[in-house]
Amino acid sequence: MFREPYFVAENFVNKKPGNPLNLVNLKTEILCKGIKAENNIEKGRKSGAGPAGGRYLVLPDNSVVNAPLWPHFVNKSDITLKRFDSGWSLFKNGEKITDVELINTPKFYSLKTPSGYPMYKIALLHGRDCVATTLLQSCVHWSTGNGCKFCGIENSLRTGSTVPRKPPKDLVEVVGAAIEEDVCKHITLTTGTPSTKDRGAKLLAEATKELKDRYEIPVHVQLEPPEGNYLELLANVGADTVGIHIENFDRGVLKSVCPGKAEVSFEEYLSAWRKAVELFGEAQVSTYVIAGLGEDDNSILEGAEMVASLGVIPFLVPFRPILGSEFENRDPPSASRMVPLYEKVAGILADYNLDPSRNLAGCVRCGACSSILEAFVCRG
Ligand code: SF4
């Protein structure tokens, strides 16, 4: 399968490193500082798995950013979003940076599935064209008191904005509506970790199969390293890409921030990544690396190099506080720390000939939560 890249290096404006309007700087500043916006705009979901609390903005050259709009740290941001008759613009310290587009709430959110679920409770639009869902909205680590301190997966259940299990048949209907609306080009399926050895692979496989039986669309699945042949099962039902997320390469940090996940050894991650690259191919396997949890830069760079050498993309994101999580009042890392990290990790990807724009589905393709794609494309 081949897909057109969303953008090419020649089209990037201001790609000179150090230029305040350089796209990597701009996107990273938005991810790390957030944007102050008028009160009368819809500011996005507040909780759930993954980086919530924002809206998707289209920056110059078609780059999409998941921009934090409401968490506490946004009040300190020097970037503001203003509406004009002609559209939206970003300002920094009162000076206009650029015009931007806001990705609107899709129409399928107002529809219901045939079994009566509001479609927005089954799956959401991420970025410009990725329909994403958390198949199981609970996690064994929460029930044992060992949940990740940055995660809000079960909070959105309490607010009633989602359902505990997403029935695959309903998901197929939602994806159909999103395809019809032309807002779905790929799918992200994630899951809270159940207590079983497959670590959610069976749920992911069931949903992937239903989707692949109906649509020709790339599907990304995310899970902890399963025990047994479950990565093979996911490949057999047609999943295109897989995310096996280490979250942080510093084992001490991981133990303190993600005590449940840290019980899975690093060796298990290594062997799952190796197996996944065999099954799905280079650049089709990724791992979230969250910066700003207490690690140092070396742990990120050494870890990124190690996974890149296996063919795995380190999807580097700045920590983002989620309302209701233990870390809700923490700040993200600074953009001045993240920009050089992005540039170095992009250099590592280039050394291993690992182009993230080859990735077919999921977070790496969507790219809204990380500047890694922009850093790779714009590298000097
Ligand atoms: S990068 Fe992943 S979590 Fe972020 S918006 Fe895109 S699909 Fe969602």
Chain segment 22-50, per-residue pLDDT in tens: 889 999 999 999 999 876 677 665 555 55
**Residue 3 counted as domain residue:** no
Which ligand 1 atom is nearest residue 370's CA? 1
What pLDDT is stored for residue 72 in this prediction? 85
In this structure, the residue with its CA closest to atom 8 of ligand 1 is: 126
What pLDDT is stored for residue 330 in this prediction? 95
Best residue for ligand 1 mutational test, from 186, 369, 370, 372 (most atoms within 8 Å of Cβ): 369
Helix, strand, coil proportions of the chain in percent (round to 5)?
A: 35, 20, 45
Residue 159 carries which side chain, given as an amino acid letter? Answer: T
Which ligand 1 atom is nearest residue 50's CA? 3
What pLDDT is stored for residue 47 in this prediction? 55
Q: How many CB atoms lie within 10 A of CB 356?
A: 23
Sign of the dihedral through C-alpha 90, 96, 97, 99: positive
Ligand 1 proximity of 125 Cβ (cutoff 6 Å): no
| Distance in Å, CA 364 to ligand 1 centroid | 8
What pLDDT is stored for residue 17 in this prediction? 55
Cα–Cα distances (Å) from 272 to 218, 220, 285, in that order, read: 21, 16, 10
- Max distance between CA atoms of the chain, in angstroms, equals 57
Best residue for ligand 1 mutational test, from 31, 126, 133, 373 (most atoms within 8 Å of Cβ): 126
Rounded to whole angstroms, the Cα distance separating 274 from 290 reads 21
**Residue 155 counted as domain residue:** yes
| Distance in Å, CA 127 to ligand 1 centroid | 7
Rounded to whole angstroms, the Cα distance separating 101 from 124 reads 19
| Distance in Å, CA 51 to ligand 1 centroid | 8
Classify burial at 125, counting beta carbons within 10 Å of its beta carbon; exposed 0-12, middle 13-18, buried 19 or more. buried
**Residue 53 counted as domain residue:** yes
- Per DSSP, the chain holds a count of helices (H) and strands (E) of 12, 13
What pLDDT is stored for residue 239 in this prediction? 98
| Distance in Å, CA 126 to ligand 1 centroid | 6
Domain containing 117: what range? 9-378
**Residue 80 counted as domain residue:** yes
Ligand 1 proximity of 127 Cβ (cutoff 6 Å): yes
Chain segment 211-255, per-residue pLDDT in tens: 999 999 999 999 999 999 999 999 999 999 999 999 999 999 999
Residue 105 sits at the vertex; the CA angle it makes with 328 and 317, to the nearest 5 degrees, is 40
Which ligand 1 atom is nearest residue 366's CA? 6
In this structure, the residue with its CA closest to atom 1 of ligand 1 is: 363
Rounded to whole angstroms, the Cα distance separating 29 from 23 reads 10
| Distance in Å, CA 367 to ligand 1 centroid | 6
| Distance in Å, CA 65 to ligand 1 centroid | 9
Q: Which residue has the tokens 């992937």?
A: 208
- Which portions of the chain are predicted below pLDDT 50? 8-11
Q: CB of 332 within 8 A of CB of 321?
A: yes
In this structure, the residue with its CA closest to atom 3 of ligand 1 is: 50
| Distance in Å, CA 365 to ligand 1 centroid | 9
Ligand 1 proximity of 366 Cβ (cutoff 6 Å): yes
Ligand 1 proximity of 188 Cβ (cutoff 6 Å): yes
Q: Are strands 87-92 and 79-84 parallel, antiparallel or unpaired?
A: antiparallel
Q: Which residue has the tokens 């946004």?
A: 74
Q: Which pTM was predicted?
A: 0.94
Ligand 1 proximity of 50 Cβ (cutoff 6 Å): yes
DSSP string, 213-232: HH----EEEE-SPPSSSHHH
SS3 321: coil
| Total domains present in the chain | 1
| Distance in Å, CA 132 to ligand 1 centroid | 8
**Residue 59 counted as domain residue:** yes
Q: CB of 127 within 8 A of CB of 64?
A: yes
Cα–Cα distances (Å) from 95 to 21, 30, 66, 133, 334, in that order, read: 12, 15, 22, 38, 21
Which ligand 1 atom is nearest residue 362's CA? 7
Which domain CATH number covers 219?
A: 3.20.20.70
Structure tokens at 66: 């998941």
**What Rg, from alpha-carbon coordinates, does the chain have?**
19
Orientation angle between helical segments 266-280 and 297-310, nearest 10 degrees: 40
**Residue 4 counted as domain residue:** no
Q: CB of 255 within 8 A of CB of 262?
A: yes
What pLDDT is stored for residue 45 in this prediction? 59
Give me the torsion for CA of 302, 307, 313, 319, rounded to 10°. -50
**Residue 2 counted as domain residue:** no
Ligand 1 proximity of 189 Cβ (cutoff 6 Å): no
The phi, psi pair for 318, rounded to 5°, reads -75, 140
Tell me 262's DSSP state. G
What pLDDT is stored for residue 18 in this prediction? 54
**Residue 204 counted as domain residue:** yes
What pLDDT is stored for residue 346 in this prediction? 97
